[in-house]
Amino acid sequence: MITTLPVTPISPLRQRLIEDMNMRRFSRATQRNYIRDVGRFATFLRRPPDTATADDVRRFQVEQRDAGLPAPTMNSIVAALRFFFTHTLDRPDLARKLFRVTYPRKLPVVLSPDEVARLLQATTCLKHQAALSVAYGAGLRVAEVSALRVGDIDSERMLIRVERGKGGQYRNAMLPTDLLVLLRQWWQVGRQQGVMHRDGWLFPGQHAMKPISTRQLHRIVVEAAHAADIAKRVGPHTLRHSFATHLLEDGVDIRVIQALLGHAKLENTAFYTKVAMRTVRAVISPLDKLAMFTGPEARPDG
């Protein structure tokens, strides 16, 4: 006799939260994180979260801090609860009681152009090389690479349409000539393998009807870096960091880079100036202009 387990119904409140996120085209990952974090708050309350008071919100954040949660985690919870209170509950008064934790931002790991080339060459198949080349060549986030479809490649305008960007934002990313050549090679190989379709995913996963997962892309980068003998700790986002830094070092206007990356705030893009070494080396120090130690008037030894 086969027994079926009962399906737990979704509460009306959770369904409203999901609908609110769907209306704003939130990614699956964002929706999963928001549901998890609102659930954390409900577990703390031990009652439905729509009954929360301002004091509940304060006590929750105090407990999170005392539990030693990292600042980025606490801020992610704040983002989820602010959305929940403001849009699902229509309680902006509770959202205003939440505070973000300030913390020093670590400098991103950036690969040199030579290291990027070695990493791409160390991939084990054409699909993996093409996927990582998109991440670096167009500066896409790992979730954006995963979500690309064949139809998102606009070879006439030399653009990549990013329709599932962060926060559900749409934008156009650049399509370098060499990247288009590589993608066409992958298209031919994928068609021969029977996994590529004109209306399908650009990088299918193990099942052709599903895209490659972000977790698999992370594993591909780590394994390629190891094979290329790169000691730095890298992930898919390292390629995006490297894309932005290399453009900045080549003199591309920072606002153009902001648009290519899909950054809402210029300050996020400006952060790359801290790791753009070629830009720093191009600046002439006022001490060098004095020519006290290298010029003809430099004091002789002795």
Which listed residue (87, 240, 241, 246) is catalytic?
A: 240
Which listed residue (128, 164, 246, 272) is catalytic?
A: 272
> Buried b vs exposed e over 54-67: b needs ≥16 C-beta within 10 Å?
eebbeebbeebeee
Q: What is the 3-state secondary structure (H, E, C) of 89-102?
A: CCCHHHHCCCCCCC
Establish whether 166 is a catalytic residue.
yes
Establish whether 106 is a catalytic residue.
no
Establish whether 164 is a catalytic residue.
no
Which listed residue (87, 164, 166, 241) is catalytic?
A: 166
Which listed residue (118, 171, 197, 237) is catalytic?
A: 237
Alpha helix stretches (DSSP H) within the chain: 12-23, 28-45, 54-66, 71-83, 92-95, 113-121, 126-137, 142-146, 177-193, 214-227, 236-249, 254-261, 266-270, 277-282, 286-290
Q: How many CB atoms lie within 10 A of CB 74?
A: 18
Which listed residue (141, 164, 241, 246) is catalytic?
A: 141
Question: Strands across the sheet with 153-154, in order?
Answer: 153-154, 159-162, 171-174
Encoded amino acid at 228, one letter: A
Q: What are the residue numbers of the active site?
A: 141, 166, 237, 240, 263, 272
